[in-house]
Each structure stands twice: as C-alpha cells, then as structure tokens.
Chains A and B, each alone.
Chain A
Amino acid sequence: MLRIEGLTAEVEGKQILKGIDLEVPAGEIHAIMGPNGSGKSTLSYVLSGREGYEITGGSVTFDGRDLLAMEPEERAATGLFLAFQYPVELPGVGNALFLRTALNAVRRARGEPELDAMQFLKVARERLKALQIQEDMLKRGVNVGFSGGEKKRNEVLQMALLQPRMAILDETDSGLDIDALKIVSDGVNAQRGPGFSALVITHYQRLLDYIVPDRVHVLMGGRIVQSGGPELAKQLEETGYASVQAAA
C-alpha cells in the first residue's frame, strides 16, 4: 500500500530525513516512535504534501502511484489522511461547512454523489455520537477555541468521515484524557480491516495497548533504526532510546 524507499528531505537547507525505508502493507497498522525532533512530523508532512520541504532523494509510492508527484488534495482524494500533531485553527470557517466541503471533495474524486446539508448532517451525527463529541462543535469555527483534546477528537472525526485507506496519526493521543484515549482508539480500530492501513506516531506505549500495531519502528536522527513487533514498544518504555542508539 505505502512504500517509502531511501527518502531524504531538507527543511531550509537542513537535512531532516536521512534515508527512510518503510513499507506498510494493506490492512496493517504500524507505529512510529522516536525522540523529539527525530523527524516524525517531518515525515508525515512530506507524505501529505506540505510545502517547504525539499525532497532530495528516494521515492514514495501509494498503491504503486508516485505519491510525491501529487498535490496535497490529490493525495487526500486517493485516500491518504494526516491527523495533524497540531491541528490548525480556521477562524470564520464553520466546522460543519468545512467537514462537508472536505467530504464532498473526496466523494467527488471517488465518483460518489455529493451529500447535501441534510444528508451530511445525518452522517456527521452518527460519527459525532460514536466519538462522543458534542453536536455544537459543528457550529463553531474549525478548531477555534477547542481544547487540545477536542482538536484531536476533531481530527479523528474527520478521519471517520473521510474514510481514508491510509491514515497517519501524528501524536493523536497527546492531550487526550484517559476516556478520550479509549474512544479515539475505538474510532481507529473501527476502521481496521483489509482496506485500511495506518501509521501511528506516538510517544506512549499506552496507546499501543488499545491500537495494537502489526509493526513498531523507531525513528532516530532521520532514519528508521530499529523495527520489531508490538513488544518493541514495551521494551522502549522500559529502557528508553539510549539502548536503541547503542544497538544501532
């Protein structure tokens, strides 16, 4: 599904990604862990097409197609989704209008009929309920005045609506209370199946108790330095990254 080979990238002349090799097959959930500043968010931005990164080498294919050649909206339309580590506030853009516009853009790209306001509301209400989000959140400006946890839930709501085939969750667990962590994890697990893959970026083993990954990768200094099964996350929790560094 997603294949990253030898990916190197720079930000403002500084090399951040130093040769990433990673493959996420269809239906699998992989976790990425790694110290602050190791390049996890940079990787997720590069994959979703944010400006400001210079790709200096390597390739990324999504279902065999060259992902890096696509505009951000094309990537989203073909089924890639990034849950932002820091969701962006959009004052003056109503959340309902935003969600409906996004959903219809993606539906149009998939050749599905667009939803009118009533049809959208029906779909949105179901998702809100599953994620235990208050309905008045639809009326507010996108992420404006949302608490940290509300922003993260709003990201997962968007994922649930857009139904991507590949989701990158960048520290979606940070800032969530214990109950919310469970609800959000259930939301991700509900998507699980042969047509859904995910890259879950996290600092905490706890999330991986709820969303059990098929593989765990350690990203350090712009490279994947170790990969393993779910037990790798538990081991890191105990020994920290120093042990990995020694091994690498």
Chain B
Amino acid sequence: MTAHPIGAAGFLHRFDGLRARLPGARLPWIQALREQAADAFRVQGFPTRRVEAWKYTDLRQVADAGFDEALSAVDSAPALPPAHGGARVVFVDGRSRPDLSTVDGLPYAVESLAAALEAQEGRLGSLARPAEQPMAALNTMLFEDGLVVTVPAGVAGGVLDLVSLGSASERPEAFHPRHLIRLEAGASLTLIETATGPEDARYLHNPVFEIEVGFGATLTHARIQQEAPRAFQLATVYARVEKGGTYDNFTLNAGAKLVRNEIHTLLAGPAATCHMNGAQLLRDGQHADTTTVLDHAAPDCASRQTYKTVLMGKSRGVFQGRIHVHQVAQRTDGYQMNQALLLSPEAEIDSKPQLEIYADDVKCSHGATVGEIDADQLFYLRARGIPEARARAMLVEAFLTEAVEGVQDETARAALGAAVTGWWEAVA
C-alpha cells in the first residue's frame, strides 16, 4: 500500500488521480474551472494563521487528517433527521441519494448537480471565488455532486429540507458538495439544511453554496450543523441579493470538532435585505468560527447580523465580521452584534468586526459583548426559589432563544429552536 500524502498535497494528489473520472471531465468549461481551482489551491494550500482571514482558526488538524475521497459503500438506510416539510433531498457523503429523497410534485426544479451538470455553465462558479478562498478552491477542484434548485418567478416554494449525512469509515473521508440555489423574481423558499453523521464518524464536509436571490425574492436559509463530534465542516456560502430581495441566513453550529461558517453576501440591488444570524454552542474541545463578509453595493439596503456563542469547557469561538459599504450604497442601514456567554474560565472567544464605509449617508453600528451569566439575573431567579443549576440553565436558554427569535420564517424558527433546546438538554 502506498503512503497517503497529507495536507494540501494529499488533495492535489487525489485530484491528479481522479481528474478523468470526476463529473464533467468531458466538459471543457468544467475542466477549466477545476484546473484553475487546483492551481489556486496549489498556491494557497490550507491557509495558515498567518493569513489574515484565518487568524483565529488553525486548520492543521484538518490538513493532517489524511482524507480519502468518499468511496465507501453507502449505508442503504441511514437514520435521517426529522423532516420539516414535505420535500427533502438527502446527500450521503456528499452524494445525492434519490432513494432517500422526496421531491415529487414540487412547483420548482430540484436536481442533483451530478445529473444536471452540463446545464450549469455560467451558473456554477459565477459567485464562488476559489482564487481568494482556498476552501472554495478545494471544493471546485473535487466536487462530485450537490443540489441544484431553481424556483421560477413568483413561485412560493415552501419548505425544502437539505440533509447531509457523513458516514463512518475506516479512513476519514472528505466530500465537497456544491449547491446552487436560484430564486427568480418574487419567488420564495425556506431551505433547512441539516448536516450530521454517526457518533464515531470522522470526515470533512466542505460544502460551497452559490445562492442567487432575485428581484423581490425571499430565501430563508437555516443551517443546522450537527456534525459528528470528531468531524470537520468548512462551509463557504456566497449569496447575491438583487433589488428588493431578502436573504435570511441563520447558522447554528452545534456539532463538529472544528467548523468554519464563512458567508459572503453581496447586496447587489437597491433596497435588498440580508440577515446573517447564528448561534454557536460549544462544548469542551470544540472550535467554531463564523466569518461574514458583507458587501453593501447598492443604496437603501439593510443588513442585520447577530451571532451568539455559548462556550463550555475548553472551547473556542471566533467571530469575524466585515462590512464593506460601497460609495454608491447611500442610506445603508447596517447592524452587527456579536455576543458570547462564557460558561467556563478556560473558554475563549475572539471577535473581530471590521467596518469599511465609503458612502457618507450611512447608519452602521456594531458591537460585541463577552460575559458570564449575569449575577443580578441569577440572584433574582434564586431569590424566587429556583435552584442555582436550573436558574443558570434558564439564563443560557434565554440567551439562545433571543438569537433564534429573529428568524422570520416560522418553520425555520421552530426547527432551529428545537435544535438549540436539544443541544442544551444534552449538555445540561
């Protein structure tokens, strides 16, 4: 048996071996995308902490894990998380599983990328920037499958579940799904993504989303990250919002050994709105990084970001939020808040807001709070007879409830609320 090279070299080595067999190998435009991405990844490799965007998150444990591509025979009937609506698309190790999915009779198109690849020229890769984001480069180089959703103009798409299951195998596996979501003018969709895997599984889930929210369209995107305790997730989301459109993202990081939730949102048309909210619930030994890059590139847009992190044991949370208000983006209304609740003296949170404002008529605020449970609040509850442990639990729950309450879509809010409660009941 040959030794597996690790680190970036390992992935480049596998790309060399798989090149001819990856989906789209016969399509010149795909080939060109992959080769460019491979070049970019060769140059950048796994970013080190010397790279500004990765200052607080060290990927060495991911790079050194020695991944295989997902080649294992797939479990015929894995356990699925609860469904939130009628429609559901299931991916196992990054590959679509039509046998586990339910997409019949929907008023919009749901396809697997592997099957619909040929038609994605000009769409796939239109938003992702592999030259700047090495994890997007890795994804572009090696993606095999993904979800392609196109909601036609004026169609209310309802709720769609996107389930990603990692599976346990002898060697850790890596999968790099590429998801393309497009809402045409006035369309709406609630996409609830649940990523999970069995307790003993070790894998790298490296998804890239390219999301287009059309004129006056509304996409609710709830991401429930409950990966296996030893798994890694490095997600990069690119969203572009046109005039009057709304992108409502809420990311819950509750699982995985290490997770990066990186979101790039471009408010491209006037009066567009985006919410990038989230909660990170960290136990001992976990590392969660949320990094947002928001471009206000048109006037009269509004953005809201609230991230809340609860840290236990020796865990580490990171929030980096960059807001770039372009010169044309007059009357921008931006708000960013990062709040952390430290439940252990060993936990650590890093917070780096970054505002770059080139327009003059702008309302933009940001803030960060880091604290322990409030002593006055705790005493108030205890003075009413509530035992200390229960009182603490109530205050942590309250902190998290507030995060989820901002989600407009009822189904997404309920799904997120249940995931938060489930996490808290498991640790409390």
Contacts and interface: CB of A to CB of B under 8 A. Distances in A.
Interface of A: 48-52, 71-73, 75-77, 82, 84, 87-88, 90-93, 97-98, 101-102, 105-106, 109, 141, 158, 162
Given A73-B387, A88-B376, A101-B390, 16 more contacts: A51-B379, A71-B382, A71-B388, A73-B391, A76-B383, A76-B385, A84-B380, A88-B379, A90-B395, A90-B398, A92-B402, A92-B405, A93-B395, A98-B394, A101-B386, A102-B381
B397 interface: yes
A73 B388 contact: yes
B385 A51 contact: no
B384 A162 contact: yes
Given A92-B402, A93-B395, A93-B398, A105 B380 contact: no
B401 interface: yes
B426 interface: no
Contacts of B405: 92
B402 A72 contact: no
Contacts of A101: 386, 390, 394
Contacts of A87: 380
B377 interface: yes
B337 to A, nearest CB: 13
Contacts of B391: 73
Given A88-B380, A90-B377, A91-B402, A102 B385 contact: yes
A98 B385 CA distance: 11
Interface string B399-427: 11110010000000000000000000000
A149 B383 CA distance: 21
Contacts of B401: 92
Given A51-B375, A92-B397, A73 B385 contact: yes
Nearest to A74: B385
5 contacts: A76-B384, A88-B377, A93-B397, A105-B386, A109-B385
Chain B contact-residue range equals 20 to 34
A162 B385 contact: yes
A105 B385 contact: yes
A72 B395 CA distance: 17
Contacts of A82: 383
B371 to A, nearest CB: 13
Contacts of A77: 385
A141 B394 CA distance: 12
Given A51-B375, A84-B380, A90-B377, A73 B386 contact: yes
B237 to A, nearest CB: 27
A162 B387 CA distance: 15
A33 B383 CA distance: 23
A26 B21 CA distance: 87
Contacts of B380: 84, 87-88, 90
B384 A158 contact: yes
Interface of B: 375-377, 379-388, 390-391, 394-395, 397-402, 405
User: Which 7 residue pairs of A and B lie closest in terms of their CB atoms, listed nearest first?
Assistant: A92-B398, A76-B385, A102-B384, A88-B380, A72-B382, A105-B385, A106-B385
Max chain A CB contacts within 10 Å: which of B379, B388, B395, B397? Answer: B379
B386 A102 contact: yes
Contact of A50 (B379, B397, B400): B379
A90 B391 CA distance: 11
A82 B394 CA distance: 20
Contacts of B395: 90, 93
Most chain B CB within a 10 A radius of its CB, from A82, A87, A88, A141? A88
Contacts of B402: 91-92
A92 B390 CA distance: 15
Nearest to A90: B377
Contacts of B386: 73, 101-102, 105
Contacts of B390: 101, 105
Contacts of A76: 382-385
Contacts of A49: 379, 382-383
Nearest to A141: B398
A105 B377 CA distance: 17
A98 B383 CA distance: 12
Nearest to B399: A92
B152 to A, nearest CB: 39
Nearest to A82: B383
A105 B399 contact: no
Nearest to A161: B384
Nearest to B391: A73
Contacts of A98: 381, 384, 394
A93 B385 contact: no
Greatest chain B CB density within 10 A among A50, A75, A106, A141 is at A50
A93 to B, nearest CB: 5
A73 B390 CA distance: 11
B153 to A, nearest CB: 39
> Taking each of A97, A101, A141, A162, which has the highest tally of chain B beta carbons within 10 Å of its own beta carbon?
A101
B119 to A, nearest CB: 46
Contacts of B377: 88, 90
Nearest to B385: A76
Nearest to A101: B386
Contacts of A162: 384-385
A85 to B, nearest CB: 12
A97 B399 CA distance: 15
B388 to A, nearest CB: 7
A97 B377 CA distance: 15
